[in-house]
Amino acid sequence: MESLPLWEVFIRSKQGLHHKHVGSLHAADAEMAIENARDVYCRRNEGVSIWVVESKYVTASNPEDSESLYDPAKDKIYRHPTFYDLPDEVTHI
């Protein structure tokens, strides 16, 4: 038998916050995925909004590429406020 496709579920826990990935589930279509996500991931007021996306449409970065992707940011300490020396007398900055 054909199987139900896999969906990734994202929940906004309260108004004003980002949707966050909480897990996955199987459903025939998007509507059913939302209904299932409500039952599986929102039994205790965990959310005010649900996103679902079929897992096959998610493109993920490859862990093997982490050096080339993230290392360039490591030595750019001048991107952080603490890099700049200011005298103590200067306030509110």
Residues found near another protein in the complex (CB under 8 A):
1-4, 6, 22-29, 32, 39-40, 43-44, 60, 62-63
Task: Report the residue number, 20 or 48, with the smaller CB distance to another protein.
Answer: 20
Among residues 40 and 48, whose Cβ is nearest to another protein? 40
The DSSP secondary structure of 33-66, one letter per residue, reads: HHHHHHHHH-TTS--SEEEEEEGGG-----GGGH
Residue 10: which H helix or E strand, with range? strand 6-12
Nearer to another protein, 6 or 48 (CB): 6
